[in-house]
Amino acid sequence: MREILIVPNDRPPGLDPGPAPMLEWIEIRRLVVDDTYQRELKPKNWTAIRSIAADFKWSRFSPVFCAPIEGGRFAIIDGQHRTHAAAICGFEKVPCQIVQMSVQEQAEAFSAVNGKVTKVTSWQILKAAVAAGEPWAQQADGAARDAGAKLVTSTPSYKDRKAGCIYSPNQFRKIVETYSREKVTAALRVILAAEGYRDVAEIWDGPVLCPLLEALCEAPEILKKADAHTVLEDFDIWKSIEDIQAETKRRIRLALPYSSKKLQLKNVLLSHFDTKAGAA
């Protein structure tokens, strides 16, 4: 647990916080949206709203930020998505943080609240999901741990990255969901057994590790081999990456179509695996 950091003598000069907010449960029918500054609800917004409603919990509902207006109503500054979700769920009231503001101040507040957001990183989401015991996080974390690797919940600088650590949580999650926890664990074990792979930090960067994992998961005949790690040791991955980069540049220069570098690496690996499987 961390306490709130209080910095002495660090109060901003000329601070004017305005009226203190009030907290109150307000009927949804009294909440309105001012289209002069609020965003329009498009199909993707309604998708997000229905997603909130489908898994609605008050423990995830922060108070709606609003301002009193004429007629006993309140203009929503922040929170129209979760308010719509609450309405879909049949709730009549939502908790609100109410601040006295003019229409201009409402627009300024909307801009400030939505423009000065500290983005939550994928590592922070993973850390919270692991702590909460969310199934997807448990599967991804377990797939790494079972193999002797580590799915990290923070991102160090490149010079501090280590072999055996997985730094691409979103991509790794998709791989586990696509191929199964067991296959991904088996693929990681092959990589951790291969010389030149298990001890090289650059191998564990997402653009290299992810196509490597996908290729191994799509080559079950390789995963079954007791000496599967030797198949990787016979593959010059850095030469292949150099060739892919050169070919991609050539195609861009000639305005020719090209696949992503990760897909090209995966296909080159699969071709190598096919050759090795056919020679067995």
* Integer angstrom CA distances of residue 131 from 1, 124, 135, 136, 153: 14, 11, 11, 12, 11
For residue 99, what are the domain limits?
22-115
* Predicted local confidence at residue 193, as pLDDT: 96
C-alpha–C-alpha distance, residues 265 and 271, integer Å: 10
If asked whether residues 94 and 219 sit together in one domain, one would say no
* Predicted local confidence at residue 2, as pLDDT: 62
94 belongs to a structural domain: yes
If asked whether residues 140 and 250 sit together in one domain, one would say yes
If asked whether residues 135 and 183 sit together in one domain, one would say yes
Domain end: 93, 115, 137, which one? 115
17 belongs to a structural domain: no
If asked whether residues 177 and 57 sit together in one domain, one would say no
* Predicted local confidence at residue 19, as pLDDT: 77
181, burial (CB in 10 Å: exposed 0-12, middle 13-18, buried 19+) = middle
User: Mind listing the pLDDT tens digit for each residue in 247-267?
Assistant: 999 999 999 999 999 999 999
Q: Which residue from 87, 101, 89 is spatially nearest to 28, judged by alpha carbons?
A: 87
If asked whether residues 107 and 152 sit together in one domain, one would say no
If asked whether residues 164 and 251 sit together in one domain, one would say yes
Q: Are 80 and 33 in contact, with CB atoms under 8 Å apart?
A: yes
Largest CA distance in the chain: 81
C-alpha–C-alpha distance, residues 183 and 144, integer Å: 11
13 belongs to a structural domain: no
DSSP label at 119? Answer: P
What's the total number of domains in the chain?
2
Which residue numbers in the chain have pLDDT < 50? none
If asked whether residues 107 and 129 sit together in one domain, one would say no
